[in-house]
Structure 1
């Protein structure tokens, strides 16, 4: 088994949400004890990766997820059955009251569990070699016009913003590339983000920065069953017009401009 520890979260995040950090040694093969927990489909999926480090991340993360969920449900980890939605987000086959999400990068993986509603998590290495010539194009494709006004100009800013946006879309169970322009994530001075969108059904979505090892950026998003906290705020665009200049805002702007470039970036960070 790999080292697994629960992260300390803000007291303003609901108690039914927890995030676990898995530390991996991607230079060594996965122990047989980890592989034994996976279903035959999960084993086949993991063996498709050509690089050992990708196989390690896939197998170890899924094995740790099975252990954590199994402990919550008091079921053997290898007895759990998963299905995926139209965008590939996994969930338990039977209704359990537990939502979960995972992400991995480099030698770390995050596993988020929630009994309070939907949850999403993302972690990325901050040392991604983003070509400066491509940064402007990526920003135009990934960020909404509102987000671009905060002038994220350096790769580190891009990665930190990316994890927040991806965690939100994962919590909502949506495709990443298809919905990048549907929501704006605005950084704040504290751990929370402000989220701007025009979908009433997303009203309770929140996103928070996570404290992870140096060299990584990570974020947690969740949509609780209860009323949202006053700290992590989500706004509909129609309610924000008095606070921010939104003239000319177009959710689809840039969406057709650089799809190939963005898809290449998504594949790059997913296999880092």
Structure 2
């Protein structure tokens, strides 16, 4: 089997800016949306959601899951429209065989979305694929079962022997999801088949694009969210933005 490389590390996010030039050069832009600030806008902006998405939203049992889904679709279109200089209504998604959305008319603009708890996270890059994942570090989940079912033989002892096993688990979990989303595969069954420990990791080539090393970086947000981003090492600048209610 041919192997590729990924480089995993921690990231310190110092500032979430509110003003953006909406110019994607060779950078990665990461946006966060605080859901409670925008719940009241769903009715006014529901026209940005298509019939298929509305139908899917009705399948959610929990109201909070429905709200997260709808706001993610609405504000993904609004953010993309600002970069593309078009109306949000003109943002039309196509889908790969693995159900990853893309824009037929703008093949160089790559994006990915994740939501959990009170936040939606969106990553955008020019030319290079990007993957993002956010998870609430839920204290109610069966941590030991999740560790043994999803982590590699290298990761299990490092997580269990850590002073903060829950934080360590979610660091690895979100890194794996961000990597899989970044390469366009989505969640697979064999999460135990590769590692995302700090430093270099060898992974099957289909998980790394093999054209270059991928960065997979993690940070903690608001002390209760684990967030990971996966992106090509060609990208040198990461900018962080908070979507404004104004």
- Name the TM-score class by shorter chain: 0.7 to 0.9
TM-superposed deviation, 1:106: 0.6
Secondary structure at 1:96 match in 2: coil
Q: TM-score, normalised by structure 1?
A: 0.68
Deviations, residues 90-114 of structure 1 (Å, cap 9, x unaligned): 1123343111001111111101011
Secondary structure at 1:163 match in 2: helix
Number of matched pairs: 210
| 1:21 corresponds to which of 1, 22, 32 | 32
- Segment drifting more, 148-157 vs 213-222: 148-157
Tell whether 2:161 aligns with 1:150.
no
| 2:183 corresponds to which of 161, 166, 172 | 172
Higher strand share: 2
Q: TM-score, normalised by structure 2?
A: 0.75
* Structure 2 residue ranges without an equivalent (≥5): 1-15, 19-24, 237-246
Residue of structure 2 in register with 1:186 after alignment: 197
Residue of structure 1 in register with 2:202 after alignment: 196
| In structure 2, C-alpha distance between the alignment counterparts of 1:109 and 1:45, rounded to whole Å | 18
TM-superposed deviation, 1:179: 4.5
* Structure 1 residue ranges without an equivalent (≥5): 8-13, 188-192, 230-272
Deviations, residues 81-130 of structure 1 (Å, cap 9, x unaligned): 11222222211233431110011111111010111400000111112412
TM-superposed deviation, 1:29: 6.0
Question: Is the Cα contact below 8 Å between 2:130 and 2:182 reproduced in 1?
Answer: yes
User: What's the Cα RMSD here?
Assistant: 2.7
Call closer, same or farther: CA 1:28–1:97 in 2, change over 3 Å.
Answer: closer
Task: Tell which has more relative contact order, 1 or 2 (C-alpha 8 A, sep 6+).
Answer: 2
| In structure 2, C-alpha distance between the alignment counterparts of 1:177 and 1:70, rounded to whole Å | 31
Call closer, same or farther: CA 1:164–1:88 in 2, change over 3 Å.
Answer: same
